[in-house]
Amino acid sequence: MALKTTRYDTAATLKTKKDVVAYLNAVFEEDDPALIAHALGVVAHAEGMGEIAKLAGLTRPSLYKALSKGGRPEFSTVLKVIAALGLKLKIAA
């Protein structure tokens, strides 16, 4: 009997702002720019890509492109997306 599997959807697990913050904090600890861009895309998808693009002052296609695999968003785009998600970027020592 074959094992039936389903695709895991991280965006579906991000139900609260607390979930989003925990997820992004864990991703930022990895110090991987590509992973950070991907994670922002996951969160934007969970929140509604069209609405996040609008709040960030970007077009939906440009947001998808910036946060896609291989996308290299400018830092200003990252900051716009973080703000559009209602989050703040903080530095700690």
Domain residue limits, the chain: 15-84
Q: What is the arithmetic mean of pLDDT over 18-34? A: 94
Per-residue pLDDT band at 1 (split at 50, 70, 90): confident
Q: 27-42 burial, b if ≥16 CB within 10 A, otherwise e?
A: beeeeeeeebbbbbbb
Q: What is the pLDDT of residues 58-77, one digit of tens each?
A: 999 999 999 988 889 999 99
CA distances from 30 to 54, 57, 89 (A): 29, 28, 16
Q: Under a CB-based contact definition with an 8 Å cutoff, are residues 60 and 81 in contact? A: no
Instruction: Write the CATH number of the domain with boundaries 15-84.
Output: 1.10.260
